[in-house]
Amino acid sequence: MAHSIRERRVYIQYLVLMLPALIIYTLFHVWPILQGVSLSMTNALAGSSSADFVGLKNFSTLLLKEGPLKEIFSRSFFWTLIFWIGNWSLNILLGLGFALVLFEKIKFQKTFLIIIFLPFVVSNLAMGYIIRMILDPSNGALNWLLLKLNLLEEPAILLKEGWSASITLIIITGWKFTGFNVALFLAGLVLIPGETLEAAVIAGCTYWQKFIRIMVPQMWPTIISISVFCLTGTWQLFALPVALSGTSHGSIKSIDTIAVVFYRWAFGREGFGMASALMFIVASFLFLGSIGFQYVAKKKTVDY
């Protein structure tokens, strides 16, 4: 009996400690999600206090009904998907590559890590404006340098419609988040038991064999974490594409991410209802993707 009372007191203490976090989470996460779901079934407009219930009409317009809204949604979804795939690949390659170099304890390791991490602390908006000035075809620093070195006969326009602008955005984002990914990969590498790596060397394993058979299997949780960060971050990217587009915002459709389209629709004639339906579809996709990553992590992770 005394043991049961003591357990109840412990549970109550845990509940009291968790209550502030639960209240904040409910107010700022759960409630907005519920509000978004309800808005997605209305024709609510920005600045209007009235809205009519339309059921699943907004979802039907975006997914089934042929028209300009479905075309914009499909194009934005395609380019954001391409951006996510490219960004994820670059994050894994650069983050893991630099982490392996730093893991070998090179000279000036801390200085090198600070230089790599520095772009991460710069805001997306500021970085976008700086990069746009550097890439400007008229008086940008990059074109000036390439023309002076006679590597180009005429200025290159990198921020133009199509793959050029999309690849440029992927490279910029990959460069910005490399430092963050390096820190995560380094943490994963440090957690690998040193005895395991030494035993592999004694057994005659090459560096590649050690990397594939020991390092990667034990770093799957880190890889999955970075993949989830990349998945959620890519589909929320807003400030950087807007800054890169500048005054021509909306004319470079290949860097119009889902978040940019959502903002334009929410405060445009499409309204909050259509924009909320758009984000609910994307949120469902991200939810399923995150579950898939967690499933892979459980299957792939091994302990030595």
- Give pLDDT, residue 78: 93
Nearest one of 157, 216, 230, 161 to 188, comparing CA atoms: 216
27 DSSP assignment: I
- Both structure tokens of 117: 């991490």
Instruction: Give this prediction's pTM.
Output: 0.83
77 and 254 Cβ atoms separated by less than 8 Å: no
254 and 78 Cβ atoms separated by less than 8 Å: no
Nearest one of 119, 120, 81, 124 to 242, comparing CA atoms: 124
254 DSSP assignment: G
- Give pLDDT, residue 2: 52
Q: Where are the domains of the chain?
A: 68-127+159-300
The sign of the dihedral angle between the CA atoms of 241, 242, 246, 250 is: positive
CATH H-level, domain 68-127+159-300: superfamily: MetI-like (1.10.3720.10)
Residue 41 to residues 37, 52, 54, 262: CA-CA distances in angstroms?
A: 7, 9, 5, 16
* Distance of alpha carbon 126 from alpha carbon 148, whole angstroms: 27
Per-residue pLDDT of the chain (304 residues; tens, 9 = 90+): 555 777 788 888 888 888 888 899 899 888 888 888 888 898 888 777 777 888 889 999 888 888 888 899 999 999 999 999 999 999 999 999 998 888 877 777 778 878 888 888 888 888 888 888 888 888 888 888 888 888 878 888 888 888 888 899 999 998 899 989 998 998 888 888 888 888 888 888 888 888 888 888 888 888 888 888 888 888 888 888 888 886 555 568 888 889 999 988 988 888 888 999 998 999 888 888 888 877 877 776 655 5
- Give pLDDT, residue 234: 87
